[in-house]
């Protein structure tokens, strides 16, 4: 099955899917090996591994390269976080062509003004005019070749403090414009406002959530509330940051690397993750 078809089925099957964020092929492989249904090519974590904050500094080509390399190495679908669409309406049409050609199963665009900042940054949160964002969705949907390619519309209405009526109005508008699913983002520490959204939404289209701040919401409860996909957007990167920094400071302070050996992956595990045997086999032939 194409990954586009797999992603489309995943959001429409009536059973909640679990997806995790990755920033490169290795982390995407780990997401897949851990049994997640798909990979979220996160703008926050791709920016971070480039030593940059998530504020529209990298170009579309950078994000596309990262997501495309993840798609090339994974068999589960990759859903690419495309921020605001990297510009205006034509940019969204262009990105859909390019991401689809790179084997990415779907893209997500959000209704903030370009350049945007990460949703957890207080500064620089401005919503785009609703009609203009609807035009981005239409342009994106018209640009896809594979009918199963997925376009997710993300509303930041709750993040920017515009309230529930605005979030609902926008979500309806975006689905009418052709969006295949709505990502409703919230930075509250309880799922209450997301549950209220779901109650009023009444399942008009699949809903995706990113429970970074309301992390005690079990995925099964999210599914029962009407969520189609839960994204654990940044945990792999945050784990890597903590682990790398602990290991490095331990080597520095102890004067040898013996004490970290039991806390780090053996080199053989990295060989395995990067399919060394298969590549060596090719060379032999």
Catalytic residues: 54
Region binding ligand SPV by CB under 6 A among candidate stretches 24-32, 37-45, 94-102, 128-136:
37-45
Distance CA(21)–CA(157), nearest Å, equals 22
**Burial class of residue 274, CB neighbours in 10 A (0-12, 13-18, 19+):** middle
Shortest distance in whole angstroms from residue 264 CB to Mg ion: 29
**Token duo for residue 54:** 């998530």
Comparing CA positions, the residue from 69, 76, 68, 25 lying closest to residue 229 is: 76
Q: Report yes or no: 18 and 37 within 8 Å, Cβ to Cβ.
A: yes
Element (H, E) at 182: strand 181-184
Distance CA(59)–CA(40), nearest Å, equals 18
Q: Binding of Mg ion at residue 81 (CB under 5 A)?
A: yes
Region binding Mg ion by CB under 5 A among candidate stretches 5-13, 22-30, 36-44, 163-171:
36-44
Distance CA(266)–CA(208), nearest Å, equals 36
Q: Quick one: what does residue 21 bind among Mg ion, ligand SPV, none, with the CB cut-off 5 to 8 Å set by partner type?
A: ligand SPV
Q: Which of 29, 42, 73, 155 binds ligand SPV (CB under 6 A)?
A: 42
- Nearer Cβ to Mg ion, position 139 or 159? 159
Tokens 């785009």 belong to which residue? 128
**Token duo for residue 111:** 């209704």
Q: Binding of Mg ion at residue 91 (CB under 5 A)?
A: no
Compose the 9-28 pattern: x for residues touching ligand SPV by CB under 6 A, - for all others.
Answer: ------------x-------
- Nearer Cβ to Mg ion, position 121 or 248? 121
Region binding Mg ion by CB under 5 A among candidate stretches 75-83, 96-104, 134-142, 171-179:
75-83
**Token duo for residue 8:** 């489309």
Enumerate binding residues for ligand SPV (CB under 6 A): 21, 42-44, 54, 81, 118-119, 210, 212, 233-234
Enumerate binding residues for Mg ion (CB under 5 A): 43-44, 81
């Amino acid at each position: 099955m194409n990954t586009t078809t797999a992603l489309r089925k995943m959001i429409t099957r009536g059973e909640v899917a679990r997806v995790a964020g990755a920033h490169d092929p290795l982390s995407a492989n780990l997401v897949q090996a851990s049994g997640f249904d798909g990979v979220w090519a996160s703008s926050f974590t791709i920016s971070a591994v480039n030593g940059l904050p998530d504020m529209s500094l990298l170009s579309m080509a950078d994000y596309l390269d990262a997501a495309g390399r993840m798609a090339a190495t994974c068999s589960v679908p990759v859903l690419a976080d495309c921020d605001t669409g990297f510009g205006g309406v034509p940019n969204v049409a262009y990105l859909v062509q390019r991401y689809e050609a790179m084997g990415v199963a779907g893209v997500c665009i959000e209704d903030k003004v370009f350049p945007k900042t990460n949703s957890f940054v207080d500064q620089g949160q401005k919503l785009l005019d609703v009609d203009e964002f609807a035009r981005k969705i239409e342009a994106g949907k018209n640009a896809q070749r594979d009918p199963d390619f997925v376009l997710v519309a993300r509303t930041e209405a709750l993040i920017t403090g515009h309230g529930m009526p605005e979030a609902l109005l926008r979500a309806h508008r975006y689905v009418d414009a052709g969006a295949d699913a709505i990502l409703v983002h919230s930075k509250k520490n309880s799922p209450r406002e997301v549950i209220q959204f779901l109650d009023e939404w009444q399942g008009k289209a699949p809903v995706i959530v990113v429970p970074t701040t309301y992390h005690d919401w079990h995925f099964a409860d999210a599914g029962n509330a009407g969520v189609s996909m839960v994204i654990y957007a940044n945990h792999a990167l945050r784990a890597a940051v903590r682990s790398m920094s602990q290991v490095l400071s331990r080597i520095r302070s102890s004067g040898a690397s013996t004490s970290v050996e039991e806390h780090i992956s053996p080199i053989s595990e990295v060989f395995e993750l990067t399919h060394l045997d298969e590549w060596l086999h090719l060379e032999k032939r």
